[in-house]
Chains A and B, each alone.
Chain A
Amino acid sequence: LSSLPLQILLYVNGIYYIFYFLATLAMIIYKSQVFSYPDDLLAPDLAVLFLMAVLEVPRLYLGFKGNLTEAEAPLGLSLGLTVASVVLSVYLLLWQTYVLWADVLLNALLLAAYGLESGLKVTAIAAFVS
């Protein structure tokens, strides 16, 4: 009954997120050197990125656990955390101080993955409940 596509997606998401985090951090550093990036605007952007990293770990863990043990509660919690991650990703896509074209691509890809994951989690929860 566990959803195999969800499992694959969660796994790929984990790997992609590591790449996403390092790339975004590197680009923020690049932006702070090349452009004028005052400290009071740099701090929120970095805080959002690190907060997203902190949320990602339990989100993926709960997703794996819920899917493999066929339990709805961890999967539900993971869905909640996904919503928070989506909000943060939208912030980095739209309301960052400088949004580079590479930022747009990375965040769009991440949002697509989150959207697909959310859909699969909902179907998995429905399958487990019934």
Chain B
Amino acid sequence: DTRDAAQARVRSAPAPVTDVATLCVCDLLVAQCDVNCCCDPDCTAEDFSLFTSCSVPVVMGDSQLCSQKAAVYSLDVDANPPERIFKLIDQVNPSIFCIHATNYKQALYLKSPEIPTPENFDQLLDKFGGPTFSTEPDSWDLDTDAQNPPDANETSRYEYGAPVQTEDAFLRLPSPVVSSWCSDANPAGFLVNQATKCIRSVSVEKCDSIQALSMLFYINSSILAVPKSSQMVNITVQSITVQSVNGMRTLLSSSDVLRLPMAVGDLCINAVLGVNYHITHTDTGEIIEAAAAFVLGAISKEALSIEQSFEISFTQENTEPVPLSGNPGYVVGLPVRAGFQPQGYPSFPSAFLFAALALSSNKHSQLTILHSTSTQDCLAAQGARAPVLFGYNMISGCKLRITAAMKCQPLAQTLLDVLKGQSFPEYVASFGNSQAQDVLDWVPITQLHISEQMISHTLQSSCQIPVSLGIEVKWTKYGSLVNPQARIVNVTATITSTTLKQLPSGRERIIPITSSVVFTDISLPAEPSYKAWPTIDIKLPFDFFYPFV
């Protein structure tokens, strides 16, 4: 009964106060006088005498009403001590659109909310529990029905970034999280090509019991072809490369035999040092093939940890993807695409619209620059090249030790190979996505030779050796001002040669060899372009001058 009464009290909210004489907005402290609050009933006359002004001068209902009562509070500062004046007046709204009467009681006051009870809780939850009433911005999903169709679609295909599912969990790509130690909980995302390197702690004694060192760990669970389905795709072993202790890698001819790690003497052989997954998918988001290429190696007894590297790449079936460097303009940081003109075709620009340029899909025909090595010896580091990345000016070099015994001509040829690489391309793609068929989208590389000749030796037949290669790539901003695309306009490769003086025998000289790439922006300032002025096309009708013509 007391409980029922208490419950009854809780069920209804307190009744709203509508009498302006008793309503006080600034009365915040209970049983205490609020400062400068002239309507506070807790204040005495002495408190009023200390006030400076009234924070709430008038308490009134809706000002749209034609006539209403208003309580006006003010301080009479002339009296001594200052006293509060309270007046109840009739406020008149002179507008012709004032509300004379209303038959809708809730119009002028805020609606009292329904107190939830066990009876109306479900109905209130339906009405107000939706995402539009939620205070978390993340759950604001205006279309609540849309939460269900993506679930339905999830069963039919993978979407970009969705974790690749296997029969027990996800396809794992171990990667460093926070620190460099391998974490096995990183799922591979569909169509997300990743390459990670991480460190795993090992010990030779527990060689065959550490799961992550065994090939089986990476291929034993089969991949689901589509999410939440029962169609499985087994991971096949594409190739096995064995790395010896001194770093030499050998590709095994047969990759069907599963090699598990085992401890042999002081070493643990067949430990997985790297896995390269290749996943083939259809254009509807279904995985049809999965292959893994392993690099196995040996761990010595002293090693406490090894570095493992993992890579995953996705290829669409029946395609050979060519990585684009931009679409259409070059993206800073992506390699500059280059190619050759196949043999037997007439030279550019005469009439050959059908010749195809060999695309730089293999690394050997990319535009590359000499890659500086730690030994800095030009002759020892042949073959180390780095791709030229768009927008990145690079300079690299090496030191050439010349002895008296070296012959000029072979040395010059070797240096030219060192500077230019094995296959220096002839054309560079103008746009990041230039196709091989569009010959006009390819810019020929202009080759210049500059020889620095010392004046005193002009008459002697001298030996010219190239000492520096400078590639200057001129590019421009192409297209609209708000979204300019980078376009390569001109590529010039300048070889600077210098005279090699014949050395007295036994002496040797060290010459620095440099190669550099410079990107220059030659874009013109943007021009405004306007639509053509409309032309007025007036023609007289042909029989305008009828009687006279």
Task: Name A's B-contacting residues (CB within 8 A).
Answer: 27, 30, 34-36, 41, 94-105
* A41, B104: Cα distance in complex, Å: 9
Name the distance in Å between B106's Cβ and chain A's nearest Cβ. Answer: 7
Q: Contact at A103–B107, with CB atoms within 8 Å?
A: no
* A35, B102: Cα distance in complex, Å: 11
Decide if B33 is an interface residue (CB 8 Å cutoff): no
* A102, B104: Cα distance in complex, Å: 18
In the complex, given contacts A95-B103, A96-B103, A97-B102, what are 10 additional A-B residue pairs having Cβ atoms less than 8 angstroms apart? A34-B64, A36-B106, A97-B104, A99-B101, A99-B103, A100-B97, A100-B99, A101-B100, A102-B97, A104-B100
**Can you list 29 A-B contacts with CB-CB less than 8 angstroms, sorted by A residue number?**
A30-B97, A34-B64, A35-B64, A35-B99, A36-B106, A36-B107, A94-B101, A97-B102, A97-B104, A98-B99, A98-B102, A98-B103, A98-B104, A98-B107, A99-B99, A99-B100, A99-B101, A99-B102, A100-B96, A100-B97, A100-B98, A100-B99, A100-B100, A101-B66, A101-B95, A101-B96, A102-B96, A102-B97, A103-B100
B102: A residues at CB distance < 8 A: 97-99
Chain A interface, >50% SS class: helix
How does the 8 Å CB contact mask read for B464-483 relative to A, with 1 for contact and 0 for none? Answer: 00000000000000000000
**In this complex, what residue of B is CB-closest to A95?**
B103
* A95, B101: Cα distance in complex, Å: 9
* A105, B100: Cα distance in complex, Å: 11
A94: B residues at CB distance < 8 A: 101
How does the 8 Å CB contact mask read for B236-270 relative to A, with 1 for contact and 0 for none? Answer: 00000000000000000000000000000000000
B97: A residues at CB distance < 8 A: 27, 30, 100-102
Chain B interface, >50% SS class: loop
Name the distance in Å between A35's Cβ and chain B's nearest Cβ. Answer: 6
B95: A residues at CB distance < 8 A: 101
B98: A residues at CB distance < 8 A: 100-101
A30: B residues at CB distance < 8 A: 97
B96: A residues at CB distance < 8 A: 100-102, 105
- From 98 to 118 in chain B, residues with beta carbon under 8 angstroms from any chain A beta carbon are 98-104, 106-107
How does the 8 Å CB contact mask read for B46-69 relative to A, with 1 for contact and 0 for none? Answer: 000000000000000000101000
A35: B residues at CB distance < 8 A: 64, 99, 107
* A36, B95: Cα distance in complex, Å: 19
B99: A residues at CB distance < 8 A: 35, 98-100
* A62, B97: Cα distance in complex, Å: 35
Name the distance in Å between A80's Cβ and chain B's nearest Cβ. Answer: 28
B100: A residues at CB distance < 8 A: 99-101, 103-104
A36: B residues at CB distance < 8 A: 106-107
A102: B residues at CB distance < 8 A: 96-97
* A27, B102: Cα distance in complex, Å: 14
Name the distance in Å between B298's Cβ and chain A's nearest Cβ. Answer: 81
B66: A residues at CB distance < 8 A: 101
**In this complex, what residue of A is CB-closest to B96?**
A102
* A36, B103: Cα distance in complex, Å: 12
**In this complex, what residue of A is CB-closest to B102?**
A98
* A43, B98: Cα distance in complex, Å: 22
* A104, B102: Cα distance in complex, Å: 12
* A36, B96: Cα distance in complex, Å: 19
A105: B residues at CB distance < 8 A: 96
* A101, B95: Cα distance in complex, Å: 8
* A102, B94: Cα distance in complex, Å: 11
**In this complex, what residue of B is CB-closest to A38?**
B104
Name the distance in Å between A11's Cβ and chain B's nearest Cβ. Answer: 27
**In this complex, what residue of A is CB-closest to B95?**
A101
* A63, B97: Cα distance in complex, Å: 34
B106: A residues at CB distance < 8 A: 36
B101: A residues at CB distance < 8 A: 94, 99
* A34, B107: Cα distance in complex, Å: 11
Residue among B96, B98, B101 having the largest count of chain A Cβ atoms under 10 Å: B101
How does the 8 Å CB contact mask read for B61-103 relative to A, with 1 for contact and 0 for none? Answer: 0001010000000000000000000000000000111111111
* A108, B106: Cα distance in complex, Å: 26
* A105, B98: Cα distance in complex, Å: 12
